[in-house]
Structure 1
C-alpha cells in the first residue's frame, strides 16, 4: 500500500467466550482465524461489503491464504479489539490485515487473509467484478 492511498478500516470489540478456550482458560490458537472472520464481518457491515452483498452480486469469496502471528495470549472473560484493514490491490481479490489488541491495548496477534472471487458456476474472476469495482470507486480507491 502506498502512503497516499486511503486507509479503510474497522474496529470491533469482542469478549472471549468459554468455548473458545483450552483447559487452561487460554484462547485456542485456531480461534484467532475465527476472530479475523468477526473482523471481516464487522468491516462488511460498516463499509457496505458484507458477504450478503457479495452473494447478491452472484459471487462467493473463499479464502486462499491466511497468516496469523501470535504474541500474547487471550484468556476467558477478557475483552479485546479486532482492527481490520482493507488492503487495496488492483487484482481481483480481497486482502485484509488484522491486529488484535487485548484490554490493556497490547498487540496479541496480527495476520492477513486473501480471498478471491468465484461466480455462481465456481469460475475464478480474473477481473474485479462490477459490484466490487463500484464499491472501490465509491470508497475512493
Structure 2
C-alpha cells in the first residue's frame, strides 16, 4: 500500500549551498502522501466532504544524505497504520541510482468537523475506502 512520485528539485527549494533546505522535505512527503490518498479515493477534499479533517500531529525526518538543485528524486509514501490514526512512512531515493537519501513518517488523526473533537478511532469512511482499494490487505 504505497505510492511513488518523482520530483526534480527546483532552485527555489535550495539554500546558498544549492542543497535542499531541511523544511522542504516535509513538502515532498506531502506530495507523496497526496498521491497515496488519491489511490484509495480519500484525498483531502474527500476527507472534508465525509465530515472529517486529518491534521498532522507528528512528523519525523531522518536526513541521511543531502539533496541538491536539479537532483531527481523518487518519494515513496507507504501506509503503515490506519485503525486509530494514519501513519505514513516515507523514503526518498535518488531517482536514477535508487540510493536511499532520507526517511521519515507523519501521523494524522481524524477530527470530526461538526464537533471539533478528535476521534480515538479512524472513522468508518476511511476503512470503507481502504477496503475498496484492490491493493489493500487488512493484515498489513
Task: Check whether TM > 0.5.
Answer: yes
1:117 matched residue in structure 2 = 110
CA contact (8 A) 2:109 2:122 kept: no
1:80-95 matched pairs, under 5 angstroms: 80-91=73-84, 93-95=85-87
Matched position secondary structure for 1:90:
coil
CA contact (8 A) 2:60 2:105 kept: yes
* Structure 2: runs of 5 or more not aligned: none
CA RMSD, 1 decimal: 1.3
- The structural deviation recorded for 1:45 is 1.8
- The structural deviation recorded for 1:89 is 4.1
1:1-141 matched pairs, under 5 angstroms: 8-91=1-84, 93-103=85-95, 104-120=97-113, 121-138=115-132, 139-141=136-138
- Tell me how far apart the structure 2 counterparts of residues 11 and 77 of structure 1 sit (CA, whole Å): 18
Matched position secondary structure for 1:65:
strand
CA contact (8 A) 2:89 2:104 kept: yes
1:3 matched residue in structure 2 = none
- Tell me how far apart the structure 1 counterparts of residues 57 and 89 of structure 2 sit (CA, whole Å): 14
- Tell me how far apart the structure 2 counterparts of residues 43 and 136 of structure 1 sit (CA, whole Å): 11
* Structure 1: runs of 5 or more not aligned: 1-7
- The structural deviation recorded for 1:137 is 2.5
Aligned residues: 133
- Tell me how far apart the structure 1 counterparts of residues 71 and 13 of structure 2 sit (CA, whole Å): 12
The TM-score normalised by the length of structure 1 is 0.88
